[in-house]
Amino acid sequence: MQGGKSMKKKFSCAVAAVCAAAILSVVAGCTRFNLEPVREPGAITLAIGNVPDGLVSDGTFLKSGVDTDTNNFILKIYSTSGDKVYDGAYGQRPEVIVVAPGSYDVGLYSARFVPPKFSQPQFGDEQTIVVGEGEQTKISFMCRQMNAGLRLKFSNDFIARFPGKGVCIRQNEKDLAYDYGQDKYAYVSTEGFNLVYNNGVADTVLLSKTLQAGQMVTMNLAYAESNTTASIINIDVDTTRDWISFDYNLGLKIPAGALSIEEAKSHIGEKVQVFGYIIGGDPTTATIRIGPPFSSKSAIVIAPAMTERNRLDMFAVELPSGAVRDALNLVTNPYRLGSPVLITGTVVESYFGYIGIKNTKNYVLL
């Protein structure tokens, strides 16, 4: 019996020795890794500025579909990599939203809007922010109209040329029937839309247009024979603001001699020509604004693509007073948003906390 106890004791000691050796091996092995230090989280706090009581268009007060109780507004916070932080009612959000350090897309919306749709102006704001380690970033939303309203008027000769009930507005692969007797505003996003006529057999795209946020557009459509063998559609546009239509090409090649933003980062202190798209304005050390209204004429933000959301891959560009500011600032030229541009200036190590361009001397819109 004593021999059995001795054997058990020896076995237990051997197991303990093996376990201890294994633990020491793991601990020793850990020293081979460069472990990242734990990063202190940041925080986001929110506030809402002006809240419209409706939509004024052509002297008509329209409340259609607008709930002005901001507690019912939709708040969306996503990391720029697409991870959801919050998506729900603004009134049910935490007072302080704790997040990991990084970049975030933040949006506030009066309603979830899937265009095209009648009687649903959408108010809100969108911003891209950067939250630093251990920092609290405060966001103030400016409620503005984010979609565009479109009202169609048809002349008798147009209806005679395109008989039937009406046409349709096509956007996001969705059709909204617009009858010839309709008088409501249809709301569309800023991504562009087609006006389509169907004769019962096939679709005919009559026109393609892009509207800007906040525009309320009345299109008077007429059809008249031209002096040539072709026929034309005359479009008279009456807007409560300026008619703005522009296109940009994400596949545009960088002109010879110009640097990309990534290449320009290694030319700090040098005067260079940099290519990018005007993605926003009103830069600070923590935020940029990616949609109107803009408040600062002194700087814009360019990026390698309009879909870019990483602040490290954007340049804030100083706009000195004069011709450059007059032409490029987004306060008086909101239609420049999305434009491809060549900027000539000096690359600096810090402009609003990031590498950027100051002493801008020249620009070329492509």
**Which two structure tokens, joined as six digits, stand for 37?**
């230090």
pLDDT of residue 350: 95
Q: What is the dihedral of CA 95, 101, 103, 104, to 10 degrees?
A: -20
CA distance 235 to 111: 31
pLDDT of residue 225: 53
Using CA atoms, how far residue 58 sits from 151, 178, 238, 240, in Å, is: 12, 20, 10, 6
Report strand pairing: 123-131 vs 102-109: antiparallel
Structural domains of the chain, ranges and CATH numbers in brackets: 42-144 (2.60.40), 148-239 (2.60.40), 261-365 (2.40.50.200)
pLDDT of residue 141: 87
CA terminus-to-terminus distance, the chain: 95
β-pair partners for 302: 278, 315
pLDDT digits (tens, 9 = 90+) for 176-221: 999 999 988 899 998 889 899 998 888 888 877 878 788 888 888 8
Q: What is the pLDDT along the chain (366 residues), one digit of tens a residue?
A: 444 444 444 444 444 444 444 444 434 443 334 455 667 899 999 988 755 544 333 333 344 455 667 888 999 999 999 999 999 999 999 999 999 999 999 999 988 898 999 988 888 889 999 999 999 999 988 878 888 888 898 888 889 889 999 999 999 899 999 999 998 889 999 888 989 999 888 888 887 787 878 888 888 887 765 433 333 444 444 333 333 333 333 345 567 778 989 999 999 999 999 998 899 999 998 889 888 889 999 999 999 877 778 889 999 999 999 999 999 999 999 888 888 889 999 999 999 999 999 999 989 887
pLDDT of residue 254: 66
pLDDT of residue 32: 39
pLDDT of residue 9: 47
pLDDT of residue 123: 86
Contact residues for 255 (Cβ-Cβ < 8 A; gap 6+): 275, 342, 366
Q: How many residues does this entry show for the chain?
A: 366
pLDDT of residue 304: 86
CA distance 33 to 38: 15
163 burial (CB, 10 Å; 0-12 / 13-18 / 19+) is exposed
Name the residue with tokens 């400016």.
Answer: 142
Neighbours of 218 (CB within 10 A): 17
pLDDT of residue 68: 64
Neighbours of 128 (CB within 10 A): 23
